[in-house]
Structure 1
């Protein structure tokens, strides 16, 4: 039995290796698509853990390293008496001092907000130096998982992100922590909901956005509103030609009815006797 236990224990140990450059595809954690890009990956193996620094590209003016540091334990942390790496809880680490050491003279302020990503809760600090950069120092510890028997199934994982970027917002830098991805599964798959397959338990295709259509129906195109017809233009007013008040030279002056003629010659009315035109013969 002692030999069997010793053989099982030996499978949890890793062959130690000094720091070396490995391919980016061998990184234990990767930044989100679109960057920041990986420059190189420095890996070191301890008997009980693998430690990596994933160095990132940067356009920042602040002095310091842009990188993701990760330690993945395959067993419990060592006690410092051998080459095994210690698993130090964050409660025993001065994270504010770490943030100031990573980005000195940036005025790092620790966030008071509770946040979590797909792997659990994490913390962070933000700095804004006078050169226009925005800097973040974030940390996360993913607790070890146990088998049903109580034995260690997966060791703890610690992640630290330090990143400065020119003309970036806090939200943009914090989003990197939400989109970091480990290169292997961490949490055991959750059991399926008990309603699946059960009789008299209808399940409809309804998600967070409401009913999920197989073929989305395009939104109706709104017709432009009918515009009122313009009112017809008013008919042009007739042109009134003013009557000349002064007759041309030599023209007779015709008095207005019942009015005086004023000065000038008077045109007599036609005589009462005149030529009589006989009517037609009967």
Structure 2
């Protein structure tokens, strides 16, 4: 009996380490499920035009992952621009926890309650238009905040159609909420946020698919009689036409232009007096008066092509200051070889 007693004691002492190992737990976990993440770990990204990500707060539940993606804010309306994403269908990180997040359906009362919490004191007006982005239909509302701020609250639920969901395929869902306020913004600019955000996160499970089955290929693809154009709904050219460049011309006020006519027989320069009335300019051949040693004699100038048409003024007085003036053709008597006064 004593031998059996020693044997049982030996077995008991040998089994104690195994019992101790079986009672050991996981490493110590933090008392909160929330943690701060860098911007590159956000599961939903805002559009490239912004607003930019300031920080990401993540909360892990037994059945979901919740991220508050804080965005840059410069508006006067109290509150923080926010993009909220909830991914349902994940496994619990703790074996003995009981902390589940409820996936509530999108209802008018639920959305009104969310907007009151996100934008207190701001009267929001929901849009009645049916719109959808790359992930399906979504809703939105606008309201005026403090100062010139325009605020938008958008919501979307991404999930497969009800008839295709099963425990083995197409299960899981994504809830998206966006709260954006911006000074001097337009509805088109804020609404572009809902059209251009990108979901980058996913759940590592083969049956998780909130997007549904992929759409079948169009039967007209590759067929005859079904032309496909680059932009079938727009006449905008693919390569935009650059506007013509305009060059500035700087001018300064100066006297009327003086054109010079150099006929072969003339040695002096003719001074032209411009007409005050706006009339078509015509090049008119005229006699040129020259001064010689014996007196004043007219010399008929041959017609020549001038860069500036020469039209003297009928009423302009001749200036006898060492230069020869060109009178009007009607004031010259060529046959008498003398200049007469204008009548």
Matched, 1:86 2:107: no
Post-superposition shift, 1:209? 4.0
Q: In 2 relative to 1, CA 149–158 (structure 1 residues): closer, same or farther, beyond 3 Å?
A: closer
2:165–2:171 contact (8 Å) kept in structure 1: no
Matched with 2:282 is 232
- Give unpaired runs (5+ residues) of structure 2: 1-30, 92-97, 203-210, 245-279, 285-310, 312-327, 332-339
Matched, 1:95 2:111: yes
Matched, 1:20 2:70: no
User: 2-side partners of 1:190 and 1:17: how far apart?
Assistant: 42
1:146–1:153 contact (8 Å) kept in structure 2: no
Q: In 2 relative to 1, CA 45–184 (structure 1 residues): closer, same or farther, beyond 3 Å?
A: closer
Q: In 2 relative to 1, CA 86–144 (structure 1 residues): closer, same or farther, beyond 3 Å?
A: farther
1:57–1:66 contact (8 Å) kept in structure 2: yes
User: 2-side partners of 1:217 and 1:113: how far apart?
Assistant: 32
Of residues 93-102 and 234-243 in structure 1, the stretch that sits farther from structure 2 once superposed is: 234-243
Q: In 2 relative to 1, CA 54–147 (structure 1 residues): closer, same or farther, beyond 3 Å?
A: same
Please give the residue correspondences for 1:29-178 in structure 2 after superposition, counting only pairs within 5 Å: 29-74=44-89, 82-91=98-107, 93-144=109-160, 150-151=166-167, 152-178=169-195
SS state of the match for residue 154, structure 1? coil
Q: Aligned residue pairs: how many?
A: 211
2:142–2:152 contact (8 Å) kept in structure 1: yes
Post-superposition shift, 1:95? 1.4
SS state of the match for residue 206, structure 1? coil
Tell me which of 205, 208, 213 is aligned to 2:231: 208
> C-alpha root-mean-square deviation of aligned residues, in Å?
3.6
User: 2-side partners of 1:42 and 1:120: how far apart?
Assistant: 26
User: 1-side partners of 2:140 and 2:229: how far apart?
Assistant: 36
SS state of the match for residue 207, structure 1? coil
- Give CA-to-partner distance per residue, 1:116-156, whole Å, 9 cap, x none: 11111111111113411111111111124689683343311
Matched, 1:180 2:197: yes
Matched with 1:191 is 216
Greater Rg by CA: 1
SS state of the match for residue 96, structure 1? helix
- Give CA-to-partner distance per residue, 1:59-109, whole Å, 9 cap, x none: 111101211111110169xxxxx4221111012743123213211222222
User: 1-side partners of 2:109 and 2:135: how far apart?
Assistant: 21
2:330–2:342 contact (8 Å) kept in structure 1: no
Of residues 56-65 and 202-211 in structure 1, the stretch that sits farther from structure 2 once superposed is: 202-211
Normalization by structure 2: what TM-score?
Answer: 0.53
Higher relative contact order, chain-length normalized (CA < 8 Å, sep 6+) = 1
